[in-house]
Amino acid sequence: MSTSSQRRAGRLLTGAAVSLAVVLPACSSDSDSGETADPDGSGPGAASAGADSRSSGARSQTSSAPGADSPEVVATGLESPWSIAFVGQTPLVSERNSGRILEVSAGGDVREVGRIDGVSASGEAGLHGLAVDDNRLYAFFAAGTENRIVRFDLLGEAGDLSLGEEATILDGLPTANFHNGGRLAFGPDGMLYATLGDTGDRSSAQDEEALSGKILRMTPEGEIPDDNPFGDSLVYSMGHRNPQGIGWDDDGKMYASEFGQDTWDELNIIEAGGNYGWAEVEGIAGGNGDGTSSGGSDGTDNGSGDFIDPVQQWTPDEASPSGLAVTDDSILIAGLRGERLHQVPLADLKSSSELWTGEHGRLRDVVEAPDGSLLVLTNNTDGRGDPGAADDRLLRFTP
């Protein structure tokens, strides 16, 4: 079993600066927007899994992938893909509606590792986040009237992987046709984090007793850690609408992306026990109602009393953020309706640049590979996009 320090989600290895793509005008049509504003600002897809990328010890490797301007198309023909997680050097991909877990070979061949029984695909609900730890695969999915987190042993070798017996880690989580959150990732503390949206129950996000509208923290067995901030509770942070991206920097600071409703999507620094405002406030409240923060430069004190403001916000047509990856120098966030990657430098969390705007359609997840390249899932086949013949695709580039 690896030590906790070896577990880390979504890290990037290279220090190369991501080249800035020309920012194109955003598509003016809302017809393909999908997960954004109500009622669905919650589409699936968020944080990067890839929990074992750090333990691969591959940070010194150099990616052979092309630059962002001409990403490699690694795989095509994926159906409503949602999450990427690495087992060794091999990316696994979840499909929201089919419940399939796929492995993608270095040559781009896509092979079914297994299909999770009992996945209920309805609206935005279905199979969502994946995480890998110690050759065990964790998956978050809707099953009937609940969301559930399960674990499988990963059997065999790359090219012949299969799923062992399913073990339920956590069940009974609320579900809905939208706002399910659903991202899974292991933190640098070795704990499993899961995002759960408000599942349409807005007031639950401010209810400490409810698990919806929260980021949850659990042991790899699904138990409550002794040091969780609300005592005998899985709740790690509260006041979330539909967070779908989580990741950590090298200092252990945690970040999360979150769909807003009509006004502001958010990038938050997540602190244990923090309250992020939904459904009382959306975006930067600042206590002044003028969008300014009166707090510290780290964005963790907003002067509005009880709520922590986001460090940065975007309109839903610019973003609708899902998966998130943290490299050694920046945060990359996959945008659905925004059809772009936002890149936020760790040195200046209030700024951002954009990649790919409108070039590849909706984007569901971004994960750092063990070699330092970035893998990105498009999301054009779930009924909200405008799929091309090759969609959906797994793309790869060197930042």
Nearer to Ca ion, 215 or 375 (CB): 215
Q: Which stretch binds Ca ion (CB under 5 A): 81-89, 268-276, 314-322, 337-345?
A: 268-276
Nearer to Ca ion, 269 or 366 (CB): 269
Closest residue to Ca ion in the complex (CB): 277
277 binds Ca ion (CB under 5 A): yes
114 binds Ca ion (CB under 5 A): no
140 binds Ca ion (CB under 5 A): no
Q: Which stretch binds Ca ion (CB under 5 A): 111-119, 145-153, 223-231, 275-283?
A: 275-283
Shortest distance (Å) from residue 322 CB to Ca ion: 17
Residue count at the site for Ca ion (CB under 5 A)? 2
Q: Which stretch binds Ca ion (CB under 5 A): 64-72, 80-88, 142-150, 273-281?
A: 273-281
Nearer to Ca ion, 228 or 312 (CB): 312
Nearer to Ca ion, 34 or 283 (CB): 283
Q: Which stretch binds Ca ion (CB under 5 A): 59-67, 243-251, 272-280, 341-349?
A: 272-280
Tell me the CA end-to-end span of the chain in Å, nearest whole number: 31
Nearer to Ca ion, 186 or 276 (CB): 276
The residue count of the chain comes to 399
Shortest distance (Å) from residue 258 CB to Ca ion: 6
Q: Which stretch binds Ca ion (CB under 5 A): 112-120, 145-153, 270-278, 373-381?
A: 270-278
Shortest distance (Å) from residue 300 CB to Ca ion: 13
CB atoms within 10 A of CB 329: 18
Contact between residue 237 and residue 270 where contact means Cβ atoms under 8 Å apart: yes
Nearer to Ca ion, 69 or 208 (CB): 208
CB atoms within 10 A of CB 284: 25
Residue selected from 186, 276, 314, 397 as contacting Ca ion according to rule CB under 5 A: 276
Distance from C-alpha of 316 to C-alpha of 333, rounded to nearest angstrom: 13
Shortest distance (Å) from residue 277 CB to Ca ion: 4
Contact string 303-322 vs Ca ion (x = CB under 5 A): --------------------
Shortest distance (Å) from residue 141 CB to Ca ion: 26
Q: Which stretch binds Ca ion (CB under 5 A): 211-219, 271-279, 320-328, 336-344?
A: 271-279
Distance from C-alpha of 222 to C-alpha of 163, rounded to nearest angstrom: 19
Distance from C-alpha of 299 to C-alpha of 314, rounded to nearest angstrom: 16
Given the rule CB under 5 A, which residues bind Ca ion? 276-277
